[in-house]
Amino acid sequence: MVLSAADKTNVKGVFGKIGGQADAYGAEALERMFTTYPQTKTYFPHFDLSKGSAQVKGHGKKVAAALVEAANNIDDIAGALSKLSDLHAQKLRVDPVNFKLLGQCFLVVVAIHNPSVLTPEVHASLDKFLCAVGTVLTAKYR
């Protein structure tokens, strides 16, 4: 799966519109993922996962920053996220299915806050981008 020039433009456009809200979107995506897919909570036994949790907010910020970094380096996502890829392979070892779940929740958050931005074409591009990020993060698993 390859990101076309149009995909890259669409993705950068979305993150341009999201701007400073990215941190909040990251936190909300996580919150929704924990609520919608309770099995994902198993990776965070050390977290307070109650509503408004500062830890979830903080972690959402990290997730958002990684997505922004990937979008800003969309021609070389593997390079941009190389350290995160190592971390997920060696330490975190989050099962690959879960990246799709977080991706779904991120799309939902974008849809809620920017319905007009998420045209079918942009939706497709963003979904492809999120898949690509998931692929990079799990690339070194074995």
Partner 1 sequence: SLPRLLIVYPWTQRFFSNFGNLSSPTAILGNPMIRAHGKKVLTSFGEAVKNLDDIKGTFSKLSELHCEKLHVDPENFRLLGDILVIVLASHFGKDFTPACQFAWQKLVGVVAHALARKYH
Binding site for partner 1 (CB under 8 A): 31-32, 35-37, 104-105, 107-109, 111-113, 115, 118, 120-121, 123-124, 127
Which C-beta is closer to partner 1: that of 7 or that of 23? 7
Q: How many CA atoms lie within 13 A of 5 on its CB side?
A: 0
Which C-beta is closer to partner 1: that of 54 or that of 111? 111
Please, what is the minimum distance in Å from the beta carbon of residue 119 to partner 1? Answer: 8
94-to-19, 104, 121, 140 alpha-carbon distances in Å = 28, 16, 29, 12
Which C-beta is closer to partner 1: that of 71 or that of 109? 109
Please, what is the minimum distance in Å from the beta carbon of residue 6 to partner 1? Answer: 11
Q: How far apart are CA 94 and CA 100, in angstroms?
A: 12
**Cβ contact 104:138 at 8 Å:** no
Which C-beta is closer to partner 1: that of 55 or that of 82? 55
Q: How far apart are CA 129 and CA 63, in angstroms?
A: 14
